[in-house]
């Protein structure tokens, strides 16, 4: 592993909003200009700090959505209705606004194209964000690592990056969906919570080594990680990232 200590210290930087891209009714991607960004690995996150006029501050962590190769740093923020920071980022922030952030943070839940595949990515809701950074990194690096992604979302309109996932699907990534609450008419994907059958169909029970990344709300991650262990996957080769109801607010 790269020694993080050789990298730039994690100081607060001023980022400028270059563009805001709505992703779903409740999620927006912030595309940011960050002068002298030191670079990151797919899967890492940043801390964002907001300061009110009276000096009150709030900090939260957000996964990086962009590939290390991308020109801008992007984070996708899911609005938590009673949250303190996310409604500001999704509803109040405008192009040209500035905010403070620092990073990249986290040296474990990461994937580099040089590490190869096969990759099995399991996303619950906005847990797709750091996994999308991996798919974008895979594409930007023209990696031929086999990759499979399972996206679990409440409904089709809640799925992040739908159009872009379709283009990855055309470039060697198997993309499957399960919709837990509501399915469109003639829905050909899966419905309901992730099951052992779904994971088997994705090859999770095969004996060969897999890089497995699971990200989502706590309940999703606990459930999926338990299924993977029951299917015989080595617990040490399952990397997880969980967020609770307040984890990303």
Partner 1 sequence: MSPLISRGFGGRRRRDVDASRIPPGQYVTDDFPVLSAGPTPSGSLDTWTFSLTGAVDEPTSWSWEELLALPSEEIRTDIHCVTKWSKLDTAWRGVSVDILLEGVDTTADFVSAFCDGGYTTNLPFADVTDGQAWVAYEFDGGPLDPVHGGPARLLVPHLYFWKSAKWVQGLELLDHDEPGFWETNGYHNRGDPWKEQRYWSD
Interacting residue ranges for partner 1, rule: CB under 8 A: 1, 4-5, 9-12, 14, 47, 49-53, 55-61, 84, 88, 92, 97-100, 105-109, 218, 222, 225-226, 228-229, 235-236, 238-240, 242-247
Which residues are 148's β-sheet partners? 120, 174
Give the residue with the Cβ less far from partner 1, 159 or 238.
238
Per-residue three-class SS string for the chain:
CCCHHHCCCCCCEEEEEEEEEEEECCEEEEEEECCCCCCCCECCEEEEEEECCCCCEEEEEEEECCCCCCCCEEEEEECCCCCCCHHHHHHHCCCCCEEEEEEEECCCCCECHHHCCCEEEEEEHHHHHHHHHHHHHHHHCCCCCCEEEEEEECCHHHCCCHHHHHHHHCCCEEEEEEECCCCCCCCCCEECCCCHHHHHHCCCCCCCCCEEEEEEEHHHHHHHHHHHHHCCCCHHHEEEEEECCCCCC
Note whether 34 and 18 are within 8 A (CB).
Answer: no
Closer to partner 1 by CB, 49 or 72: give it: 49
Task: Identify which of residues 53 and 170 has a Cβ nearer to partner 1 in the complex.
Answer: 53
Q: Tell the smallest beta-carbon distance from residue 167 to partner 1 (Å).
A: 31
Q: In whole angstroms, how close is the CB of 165 to partner 1 at the nearest point?
A: 26
- Among 203, 204, 158, which Cα is nearest to 178's? 158
Q: Report the C-alpha gap between 127 and 64 in whole angstroms.
A: 11
Question: Least distance to partner 1 from the beta carbon of 108, Å?
Answer: 5
Nearest distance from C-beta of residue 136 to partner 1, angstroms = 21
* CB nearer to partner 1: pick between 161 and 243: 243
> Which residue number, 165 or 217, has a Cβ lying nearer to partner 1?
217
Least distance CB 116 / partner 1 (angstroms): 20
State in angstroms the smallest separation of the CB of 181 from partner 1: 22
Q: Quote the least distance from Cβ 187 to partner 1, whole Å.
A: 30
Of residues 55 and 185, the one with the C-beta less far from partner 1: 55
Residue nearer to partner 1 on the CB measure, 1 or 71: 1
């Amino acid at each position: 592993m790269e020694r993080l200590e050789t990298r730039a210290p994690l100081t607060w930087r001023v980022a400028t909003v270059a563009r805001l891209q709505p992703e779903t009714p409740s999620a927006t991607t912030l595309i940011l200009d960050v002068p002298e960004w030191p670079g990151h690995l797919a899967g890492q996150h940043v801390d964002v700090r907001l300061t009110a006029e009276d000096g009150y501050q709030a900090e939260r962590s957000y996964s990086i959505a962009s590939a290390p190769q991308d020109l801008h740093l992007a984070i996708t923020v899911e609005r938590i209705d009673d949250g303190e920071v996310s409604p500001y980022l999704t509803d109040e922030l405008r192009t040209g606004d500035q905010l403070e952030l620092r990073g990249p943070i986290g040296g474990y839940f990461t994937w580099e194209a040089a590490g190869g595949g096969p990759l099995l990515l399991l996303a619950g809701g906005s847990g797709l964000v750091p996994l999308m950074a991996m798919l974008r990194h895979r594409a930007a690096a023209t990696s031929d690592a086999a990759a499979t992604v399972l996206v679990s979302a409440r409904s089709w309109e809640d799925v992040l990056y739908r159009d872009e996932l379709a283009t990855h699907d055309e470039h060697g990534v198997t993309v499957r969906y399960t919709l837990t609450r509501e399915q469109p008419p003639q829905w050909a994907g899966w419905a309901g919570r992730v099951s052992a059958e779904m994971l088997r169909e994705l090859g999770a029970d095969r004996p060969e080594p897999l890089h497995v990344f699971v990200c989502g709300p706590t309940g999703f991650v606990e459930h999926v990680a338990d299924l993977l262990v029951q299917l015989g996957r080595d617990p040490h080769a399952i990397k997880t990232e969980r967020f609770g109801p307040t984890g990303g607010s």
